[in-house]
Structure 1
Amino acid sequence: MMKKILVLGGAHIDRRGRISGETAPGASNPGTWFEEPGGGGFNAARNLARLGFHVTMISPRGGDAIGEMVGEAADFAGIDDRPFVFLDRKTPSYTAIIEKDGNLVIALADMDLYRFFVPRRLSIRWVREAFVAHDFILVDANLPEETIAAIVAKAHSLAKPVAAIAISPAKVIRLKPCIETIDYLFLNEAEAAALVGQQPQEAAGWPPLLKAIGIRSAVVTRGRHELVAFSEGRAVTLQPPVADTVADVTGAGDSLAAGTLAALMAGLPLEQAIRHGAAAAALTVQSRHAVNENLTPDMLNEALALVPTVGILH
């Protein structure tokens, strides 16, 4: 039977300016402009839908053309889209400047609308029914701290596993009040450092630091360097496969979360599931989009052959 995933989080517009030559700080840089629907939760939701899962997305949205664009992208991906629409407000946006090699220079997040997703909205009947009807809950840190805590508490009251995507160093702090009850956390080194207040030199340093603040299971990505994952007393590392071409790194972390969660729901342990996540991320960075629109389960299985086996830390 098809697994059902409920995603609560960001679904907005991503604008990306790509510098054509060498980056010149404080000056005008020739480049190109590109925009598409995005958001951590929304990117993960679209990947999961393309991998064959029934996905429902709940997020705040403005009553504007951008909101309609996001809705159309959800329909195109096969997502059951359930937005809270605020007709008098604009849909959130994320604007990034990217170097010619695909790496991020700086970004600006205009996310004020998400603060209107307050905990009491979880008591709406159709939202309550959505929690009951789904097998897995995914939340991202675009939402307010108290709402995230209420989502995690509601998931656990129904014995539903819950995963979280950190989004950014500034936003991951919102997960702190409920971090001990999140089953799987996806974050990068900068976000992990924001949680623990330090950054170890090696991948092996992350599991003890994150466990010390109550995190049960996590995947910490480190760009092109080996990622580290731990769960239930086991910790492993994995060297991400080198993509033939890097078109854009936007969405790589979200697709890694989606690929990993897809494998977890298929019954694989975390140390094996991260190989599926790494394969999904590799396919994403080869696309200029935040979600590889050609993604299929068969494509993911082919990419899996290029992902090395995990290294055991303990």
Structure 2
Amino acid sequence: MANILALGGAHIDRRGRISGETAPGASNPGSWKQEAGGGSFNAARALARLGHSVTLFSPRGGDSEGEAVARAAEAAGVIDRPLVFLDRQTPTYTAILERDGNLVIALADMELYSLMSPRRLTMHDIREAIAAADLILTDANLPQETLLALCDTASAAEKPVAAIGISPAKIVRFKPSLAKLGFLFMNEAEARALTGAAPSDPTEWPAIFRTVGLSAGAITRGRDAVVAWNENSVGTLLPPPLAAIGDVTGAGDGFAAGFLHATLEGSDLAGALAHGAASARLALISEMATAENLSRALLAETLALVPNAEIVL
């Protein structure tokens, strides 16, 4: 079991799902659901369900949505330490999904995260949590200057930082921090936004990122092969097909959680890729952003459905 400190998105996800063929510019019949979500929070809950001790710090409003996030953290076994702003609203993410679960469009109301300034990292409780952590997990919901300060603080304390890209618009906040990150999880659209590159061969991504300072990362590509690399190796893994998708929301966060869990348990790159793919699969078949039934036993069972990773370098 590892001690993990998570700082970043923990908010309310609202998702509408169209029940028929999508008709742009028109009213579409469908259904609506709401739950707690956020990149760091989704991964934090998955890691807690896999038996790790996870402490979460995130800005929260003094409202019913903030209370809902707190209840979700407690249910997953996450140690919740919110930074509450009583006069503000908890951030929200509102998405519209097609009938097959794929995203049509989303709107992120995340202004509260701008109040997570670098000086918040000097709070006694956060400094203590950094000192006790085996791993620090963050995401691009936080301001650029805060992410850089977090990486500097973690580096001084000799603590690795893993990060989640969140979106093409937000991942660019990591540009000043790339050389200081231990690992960055992203999808291909986010990778393009961060580098301006679009290689025809996805195995070229590691070399591109190494030139801008990122020594280790993973790029998920939907149904196509995920690419991951570290200082010594490059690996790919083609996710097995799914008969049906419950919801794509949180799949990348699930991949990050499975990958980090395996890494913390001593797995090599190939093993971490397989665990990431298995965890993402469980998130995809779930109607929720995270697999609420996730456990070490279920993850091990799901690994049998995942092909071996190919180490290409």
CA distance in 2, matches of 1:110, 1:290: 18
Checking the alignment, whether the CA contact within 8 Å between 2:206 and 2:228 is kept in structure 1 is yes
Partner of 1:36: 35
Checking the alignment, whether the CA contact within 8 Å between 2:18 and 2:28 is kept in structure 1 is yes
Partner of 1:24: 23
CA distance in 2, matches of 1:27, 1:200: 36
Q: CA RMSD in A?
A: 0.8
CA distance in 1, matches of 2:257, 2:50: 9
CA distance in 2, matches of 1:233, 1:133: 28
CA distance in 1, matches of 2:78, 2:308: 32
Q: Note the C-alpha offset of 1:236.
A: 1.1
State the SS of the aligned residue for 1:226. Answer: strand
Checking the alignment, whether the CA contact within 8 Å between 1:256 and 1:278 is kept in structure 2 is yes
Q: Within 5 A, what are the aligned runs for 1:65-214?
A: 65-214=64-213
State the SS of the aligned residue for 1:94. Answer: strand
CA distance in 2, matches of 1:310, 1:54: 28
Q: Note the C-alpha offset of 1:194.
A: 0.4
Q: Note the C-alpha offset of 1:53.
A: 0.2
Can you list the C-alpha shifts for 1:72-128, whole angstroms capped at 9, x where unaligned?
000111110001000000000000000011110000000000000001011111111
Checking the alignment, whether the CA contact within 8 Å between 2:10 and 2:37 is kept in structure 1 is yes
Question: After the TM superposition, which of the residue ranges 173-182 and 200-209 deviates more from structure 2?
Answer: 200-209
CA distance in 2, matches of 1:13, 1:118: 21
Aligned length: 313
TM-score between both structures, scaled by the size of structure 1 = 0.98
Partner of 1:222: 221
Q: Note the C-alpha offset of 1:201.
A: 2.1
Checking the alignment, whether the CA contact within 8 Å between 2:270 and 2:310 is kept in structure 1 is no
State the SS of the aligned residue for 1:248. Answer: coil
1:291 aligns with 2:290: yes
State the SS of the aligned residue for 2:51. Answer: coil
CA distance in 2, matches of 1:46, 1:168: 20
Checking the alignment, whether the CA contact within 8 Å between 1:162 and 1:182 is kept in structure 2 is yes
Checking the alignment, whether the CA contact within 8 Å between 2:270 and 2:308 is kept in structure 1 is no
Q: Give, as a single letter, the amino acid of the residue that structure 1 aligns with 2:46.
A: N
Q: Note the C-alpha offset of 1:274.
A: 1.3
1:235 aligns with 2:218: no
Partner of 2:312: 313
Q: Note the C-alpha offset of 1:234.
A: 1.2
Question: After the TM superposition, which of the residue ranges 156-165 and 39-48 deviates more from structure 2?
Answer: 156-165
Q: Note the C-alpha offset of 1:202.
A: 2.5
CA distance in 2, matches of 1:57, 1:243: 32
Q: Give, as a single letter, the amino acid of the residue that structure 1 aligns with 2:42.
A: N
Checking the alignment, whether the CA contact within 8 Å between 1:258 and 1:277 is kept in structure 2 is yes
Q: Give, as a single letter, the amino acid of the residue that structure 2 aligns with 1:127.
A: I
Q: Give, as a single letter, the amino acid of the residue that structure 2 aligns with 1:26.
A: G
State the SS of the aligned residue for 1:32. Answer: strand
Partner of 2:260: 261
CA distance in 2, matches of 1:29, 1:199: 34
CA distance in 2, matches of 1:189, 1:249: 15
TM-score between both structures, scaled by the size of structure 2 = 0.98
Checking the alignment, whether the CA contact within 8 Å between 1:203 and 1:237 is kept in structure 2 is no
Q: Note the C-alpha offset of 1:269.
A: 1.9
Checking the alignment, whether the CA contact within 8 Å between 1:6 and 1:56 is kept in structure 2 is yes
CA distance in 2, matches of 1:114, 1:271: 35
Checking the alignment, whether the CA contact within 8 Å between 1:242 and 1:282 is kept in structure 2 is no
Checking the alignment, whether the CA contact within 8 Å between 2:97 and 2:103 is kept in structure 1 is yes
State the SS of the aligned residue for 1:236. Answer: strand
Q: Give, as a single letter, the amino acid of the residue that structure 2 aligns with 1:219.
A: A
Partner of 1:274: 273
